[in-house]
Chains A and B, each alone.
Chain A
Amino acid sequence: MIKRRLNIRMSGLGGQGAVTAAHVLAMAANRDGKFSISNPFFGAEKRMAPAESYCRIGIERIYDRGELVFPDVIQVFHPQVITMGKSYTMPFYSGVKEGGVVIINSAQPLLSDEDVERLKDLNVAVFYIAGTELAIEVAGTELSTNMAMIGSVSGITKCVSMDALDGALQERFGKKFVASGGTASLDEAIKKKFAKKEMLLAKNLATVKAAYEIASEWADKNNVELRVGNPAVAA
């Protein structure tokens, strides 16, 4: 399916970098010459509390903002989004569009039979990726989980190029970034994991790439196609 706009909802927990992931993805889409906006949604800024972010990518100017009620792609950054209902919508896939994709960061299946059935009825494909394990393996830290999530959504939808992601990561982490106290301390934490800033950028990009390849392969194998473009031209 080719759509004029791709709506991506990222449901995560505080500290996982869901907000950063949406910003980086939107920055990359902007670098690719697409239209994009991203914004977060959270309550009190604290670890493990529900935190969501949204990234909209399209071929025309985007006005819509705020919480994404009708997403094409839902990314679950943490199993507790599903198992403990740490989500702003119940069930977590509420509002998902027909033909959409759900990407879950988990090595084990988490959905009930009923959930599986309902998503099947909506023709929504479900992709599990062990994103945290991948982040630990490739980058050596679970703090790069959000990179695995960026890679997986990019691998399935091809909504951004790897060059643009590389540029966006450098823009975000290459210089001092002032946001909230929570974000600042997490930035400090991840910088301490790597000897040099170049290493941080290289390992994070490697995590993005590894997830991209796994997700891309899955999409090819299962004939899942969800792209941003002009449907009129494509038809």
Chain B
Amino acid sequence: MAETKSIIGTQNKKGQTYTDAWKLLNEAPRTPSFFTGSEVIKEAIRRASCDVMIAYPITPQSEAAALIGELFAEGYVGDYFRGESEFAVMSQCAGAAFGGARVFTTTAGPGTMRAMENFPMWAGSRLPIQMIVTCRGINSPLSIQPDTLEIAYLLNTGMLVWHAETAQDFFDWILKGYMVSEEPDVHLPLALCCDGFFVTHTKDVVNLTPADMCLPPYDPYRSPVPCMDMECPPVRMMRDPFVMKSNYISYATHASWQQEIWAAVERSRKHSIHWLNGLIDAENTDTDIMIVASGTAVSQGREAIRMLEDEGVRCGLVKVKTLRPWPEEEIREATKNAKHIFVPEFNVTGWLAKEIKATIPNHHRVHAGPHVCGGMTMPPEIIVNEIKTALGMKKSFVMAGRGS
């Protein structure tokens, strides 16, 4: 703690000033920039005082990974290399984090699936690694386009899971994510997800903090479990697996540690509320009709709400920012007046609708849809039509879109 604080106001080797994170994110001047999401990831990492970034190419995160390589060449990242596969990358991330480094990586789609074994291991080992997931289709036949099915697989790993709507969210949340993840009472990995292409490859206005200010470095002594001494081999990567003892206490220890991981996810709630200004954003919660969504589906929902307003139909919106911790109370409160709750999603199974149904009373109010999948786009017109159909209104057969 003391170490991190005393370093504030001093400069790193690139001449960036270590700045109090709250001041950096909430008080420092912002410059509007017109960037792709990938460029924005680079700009966030430039300011994140990262020790290690490990890369592996897979669309649509390759561009971001390559751009961080440029940052490493410029001297902004402690170490950077390409792993042999996603599985290797995530294992190497664990090694670096065990050794007390602030670690960053990016992945997508089938790569995320390939590396899956590591994620509960990260959480169980209390490693505050940050992983960007630029969602893409995971199932055969192959797709490189956005499809959020992989998020469903991450929900029960013990990682924090956040779903960004825009590149602006990405910029802020990458920096804020470390602040939440590295709290001693949390100390868990974060999967910061977005819909690939819609965020990574889209040029949009993003307000950036000054490039000469950066986060304070990670202080490994704030870890609730001892960090490994990487310079005194043999390094023991794990404590003795409890199961090897094969007695009652070993199982009880394992069970209680799992409970502790999920308690840590719960304890991240107050920090996430503090940094993200709430786990959800809610607008017009007095209306009968609500759209509840995460990621790009929120953006498409915003357009649908504008189109409905043009026709005199009021519709509210809940943007779910954190999926883990799950904003149960917040969603229940925001939807208490709604008679119809629509959950547009970019995946075939509708995992978000299922989570919401399990959360709110009278869940027959939830309309799980519209859904698109396999990388298809979701024109706001189909959300409008889904709502109109449910309300018994006449559908628009000529889908004219915005701007007539």
Contacts and interface: CB of A to CB of B under 8 A. Distances in A.
B226 interface: no
Given A5-B403, A58-B403, A179-B63, A64 B202 contact: no
A27 interface: yes
A4 B202 contact: no
B258 interface: no
A6 B38 CA distance: 25
Interface string A83-99: 00000000000010110
B399 interface: yes
Given A178-B63, A179-B63, A66 B403 contact: no
B225 interface: no
A53 to B, nearest CB: 9
Interface string B360-404: 000000000000000011111100000000000000000111111
A5 B379 CA distance: 15
A70 B202 contact: no
B219 to A, nearest CB: 32
B91 interface: no
11 contacts: A23-B36, A38-B202, A40-B201, A43-B144, A64-B300, A65-B299, A66-B198, A69-B401, A70-B381, A70-B399, A231-B404
Q: Which of B34, B63, B403, B404 has the most CB of A within 10 A?
A: B403
Q: Which 5 A-B pairs have the closest CB atoms?
A: A66-B377, A5-B403, A67-B377, A70-B401, A39-B202
B197 A70 contact: no
A26 interface: yes
A223 to B, nearest CB: 19
A40 B197 contact: yes
A40 B34 CA distance: 16
Interface string B318-344: 000000000000000000000000000
A78 to B, nearest CB: 21
A3 interface: yes
A30 interface: yes
Contact of A27 (B34, B70, B381, B400): B34
A5 B331 CA distance: 33
B209 interface: no
B299 A63 contact: yes
Given A7-B401, A66-B296, 7 more contacts: A5-B403, A35-B205, A40-B197, A63-B300, A66-B146, A70-B379, A97-B401
Contacts of B401: 7, 69-70, 97
Contact of A38 (B38, B67, B146, B203): B203
Contacts of A180: 62-63
B399 A66 contact: no
Interface in B247-271: none
Contacts of A208: none
Q: Which of B34, B145, B296, B399 has the most CB of A within 10 A?
A: B34
Interface in A10-43: 23, 26-27, 30, 35-41, 43
B222 interface: no
B379 to A, nearest CB: 4
Interface of B: 34, 36, 38, 62-63, 66-67, 70, 144-146, 197-198, 201-205, 296, 299-300, 302-303, 376-381, 399-404
Contact of A65 (B202, B205, B376): B202
B303 A64 contact: yes
B34 A178 contact: no
Contact of B204 (A4, A37, A68): A37
Q: Which of A3, A69, A97 has the most CB of B within 10 A?
A: A69
Contact of B197 (A4, A39, A68, A231): A39
B43 to A, nearest CB: 13
Contacts of B204: 37
Nearest to A183: B63
Nearest to A53: B201
Contact of A41 (B197, B381, B404): B197
Interface string A36-78: 1111110110000000000000100001111111101000000
A39 B144 contact: no
Contacts of A7: 401, 403
Nearest to B33: A30
A39 B36 CA distance: 9
A58 B145 CA distance: 26
Given A23-B203, A38-B203, A178-B66, A64 B380 contact: yes
A62 B404 CA distance: 15
Contact of B67 (A6, A58, A97, A178): A178
Contact of A69 (B38, B67, B197, B377): B377
